[in-house]
Amino acid sequence: MTSIRFEGRNAEFFATLRNRINAYFSENNLQPTGNWKLYWKTIILFATLIGSYLMVILLHPENSWIYLGYTIMGLSFAGIGFNVMHDGAHGSYSNSPWINKLMANSLNLLGGNAFLWAEKHNIVHHSFTNIEGVDDDIDLWPLLRVNTAKKKLWFHKYQHIYGLPLYTIAYLAWIYMQDFKKYFTGKVVDRPFKNKLSAWKHIEFWASKLVYVFIFVLIPAYFIGIKTALLGYFAMAIVTGICITIVFQLAHVVEDIHFVTDKAEAENENKTIESINVEDDWATHQIRTTSNFSTKSKTLTWLLGGLNFQVEHHLFPKISHIHYPKLNEIVKKTCEDFNVKYNEIPTFFEAVRSHFMHLKMIVLERIRKIYSYH
């Protein structure tokens, strides 16, 4: 396992930022966790999922409205993941640990696994964002080449074209392949699980996978037939896959975002490295490897659970997303005061353009050398 060390000495920046954030909550008598806005959103999202599920199994098999039901289910899966599960997994949904755990475990209902998510996302991704060979979320090679350190294959010159179709299978790859790879290897990329996979967690993993297939594949197949159920299920999975993949990519794989590529460069020379020294302190690293997008859109902020405020989320993952619009102002001002570059793309469609332009320019290698810290 490669050790990671953040060598930056800009401790005053994050200390000041943290004090300003704490002052905001104190002066406004607010809790950093969720409130009634988040609870109502939870009810709406689960009601939408249940309603669309009933729509699927109760309609006549030849009724084309079934596929609308599956599409809404796919959107509901993404919405619950973004808003409910994500806050619960970070302990920011509620002041109550058991409620946070309950909301985090909603991922088990959606086909994933809460334990593996915590290892992959909370522990690895949030600690070592965009560090090649460590961060599982950018471990996309050979399918995609997201930085110049990875070996370029002939088909990568088309990745800005086939990228979107590839994202349609991301959800299925996650729950049927990547989860099982992590489960059997006990690792996230090169890092062994930080927490022990207990006997109960083993049971929970297998039971939740079987229950998921029973609820979302077998029961619909009984009511509407196997062919319609499978077609609908794949439609749902495509919608979910595109939603979750696009949101992640717009946060970490766009133009002017940093990657740490020491490990990949060593592998290119058939070498191994035992440690990576990151030039920045942890907080500055989070800002340089993350980008916001479309932060002025209240609709998108509601739908995405504030994940368009990725900078604020990465700096303060234990604060609920409902507070991010206000924190955004404080973080921006503090970055300005300490001369830390803040990444934000004005609109969703500009961010999408930036992502696919990044995929294109990486292959052409007409992109600034912003990837390695040396």
Q: Hey, where are the domains in the chain?
A: 3-364
In the three-class reduction of DSSP (H, G, I as helix; E, B as strand; rest coil), residue 94 is classed as coil
Phi, psi of 276 (to 5 degrees): -125, 125
Structure tokens at 166: 């590839």
| CA pair distance 94, 369, nearest whole angstrom | 42
Nearest in space to 56 (alpha carbons), one of 187, 222, 180 = 222
Phi, psi of 271 (to 5 degrees): -115, 165
Which residues, including other chains, have CB under 8 Å from residue 296's CB and lie 6 or more apart? 346
In the three-class reduction of DSSP (H, G, I as helix; E, B as strand; rest coil), residue 191 is classed as strand
The number of beta carbons lying within 10 Å of the beta carbon of residue 87 is 28
Return the DSSP state at 272.
-
Which residue in the block uniquely carries the two structure tokens 């990519």? 249
Q: What is the pLDDT of residue 273?
A: 77
pLDDT tens over the chain, length 374 residues: 788 889 888 889 999 999 999 999 999 999 999 999 999 999 999 999 999 999 999 988 788 899 999 999 999 999 999 999 999 999 999 999 999 999 999 999 999 999 999 999 999 999 999 998 899 999 998 999 998 888 889 999 999 999 999 999 999 999 999 999 999 999 999 899 999 999 999 999 999 999 999 999 999 999 999 999 999 999 999 999 999 999 999 999 999 999 998 777 766 666 777 788 888 999 999 999 999 999 999 999 999 999 999 999 999 999 999 999 999 999 999 999 999 999 999 999 999 999 999 999 988 875 444 444 33
Q: What is the largest CA-CA distance in the chain?
A: 64
Question: Do the Cβ atoms of 197 and 186 come closer than 8 Å?
Answer: yes
Cα 340 vs. chain centroid, distance in angstroms? 24
Counted residue by residue, the chain has a size of 374
Note every long-range contact of 212-220, with CB atoms under 8 Å and residues 24 or more positions apart, other chains counting: 212/108, 212/109, 212/110, 212/111, 212/175, 215/109, 216/111, 219/57, 220/56, 220/57
Point out which residues pair with 5 in neighbouring strands.
Answer: 277
Q: What is the pLDDT of residue 272?
A: 76
Structure tokens at 318: 């234990």
Q: What is the pLDDT of residue 182?
A: 97
Burial of 367 (0-12, 13-18, 19+ CB in 10 A): middle
Q: What is the pLDDT of residue 2?
A: 81
What dihedral do alpha carbons 190, 194, 200, 203 form, nearest 10°? -20
| CA pair distance 69, 56, nearest whole angstrom | 6
- Residue ranges with strand state E in the chain: 3-6, 187-188, 191-192, 275-278, 292-293, 344-345
Return the DSSP state at 135.
-
- C-alpha to C-alpha distances, 363 to 61, 286, 360, nearest whole angstrom: 46, 25, 6
